[in-house]
A and B are shown apart, each in its own frame.
Chain A
Amino acid sequence: GAVVSQHPSRVICKSGTSVKIECRSLDFQATTMFWYRQFPKKSLMLMATSNEGSKATYEQGVEKDKFLINHASLTLSTLTVTSAHPEDSSFYICSAWKGGGYTFGSGTRLTVV
């Protein structure tokens, strides 16, 4: 079946630094990937749609310069949280769309100290 690998699973970084999260589709090609953010005891909030070979589409209220998305190949999308602040601490989850269904990564717990 379709598998999406997300790394790292946990990361702690200092305020002001940048963190990159990777989302890979292991056994299929994904022209479209999605990035979500989830706060404790809350639902998944769609941040952006990542399209291979083109610019990402961001949801309203999501800062594109803060959350840089790159989808350079059919199997890899990356989310970079730039100049991280404690309020960026959250659980980030990616999803890959393959005609007929979605496959989710296992999530990345980001803690900014």
Chain B
Amino acid sequence: GESVGLHLPTLSVQEGDNSIINCAYSNSASDYFIWYKQESGKGPQFIIDIRSNMDKRQGQRVTVLLNKTVKHLSLQIAATQPGDSAVYFCAENGGYNKLIFGAGTRLAVHP
């Protein structure tokens, strides 16, 4: 299930299930979006990106969907594995190549 509170929202899934992480972005003029994975004490790790002229892009086990009408981005992870447990951030290019990060979602994968 998904919970929102004072801490990062957490999505808990069973190993092998598909995960969907959502993100709302703020700037309708943003033309480039990236999903990052961050493990504790480390820098963000690139997962997948998408430009505003696309609404879907697929990678290995991951898919990003972009809905510009409602300024919404989602990351789908197929067959989630324990190694996928981390915090996931969406980021938008807010102009001048500045990358602005969303609030983040913690993904907890249970065996």
Contacts and interface: CB of A to CB of B under 8 A. Distances in A.
Given A34-B99, A43-B89, A43-B103, A93 B7 contact: no
Interface centre among B8, B34, B44, B97 (most CB of A within 10 A): B44
A35 to B, nearest CB: 11
**Interface of B (DSSP majority class):** loop
Interface size class of chain A, counting residues whose CB lies under 8 Å from the partner chain = 20 to 34
B97 A101 contact: no
B98 A49 contact: yes
Interface in B82-111: 89, 96-104
Nearest to B43: A104
8 contacts: A34-B99, A43-B103, A43-B104, A45-B101, A46-B101, A91-B41, A93-B44, A102-B46
